[in-house]
Amino acid sequence: MQQLTIDLPENLSAALTTPGKDLSRAAFEAIALESYRERKLSTAQLRQLLGFETRYELDGFLKEHEVWLEYSESDLEQDRETHRRLGF
């Protein structure tokens, strides 16, 4: 495990997070979100990294941060085939 330390002036650290939210968690989430946007992390990796137990929790987190899931036509076809196999 690696650790990162950032020294910020007090007036700037207050501007970088919302009241009641831990600044180190906010910074961690920002780095994780940017890595997901750049496709360096998969959805499953992001969920694990952020400690969400379910995909539903991750979907809510992504929506809250206006990050939309990548869902291609190929993904749709794969989901359709899965539904057909399962009898839906």
Whether residue 48 is predicted with pLDDT greater than 90 in this model: the reply is yes
pLDDT at 50: 96
Entry pTM:
0.70
Whether pLDDT at 26 is above 80: yes
Per-residue pLDDT tens over the stretch 51-65: 999 888 999 999 999
As a whole number of angstroms, the distance between CA 68 and CA 58 comes to 11
Average pLDDT (9-20) is 81
Contact 6, 27 (CB under 8 A): yes
pLDDT at 36 over 90: yes
Question: Band of the pLDDT at 21, cuts 50, 70, 90?
Answer: confident
Q: Compute the distance between CA of residue 37 and CA of residue 70 in angstroms, rounded to an integer.
A: 9
Q: What angle do CA 32, 33, 39 make, to 5 degrees?
A: 90
Distance in angstroms (rounded) separating the CA atoms of residues 76 and 83: 11
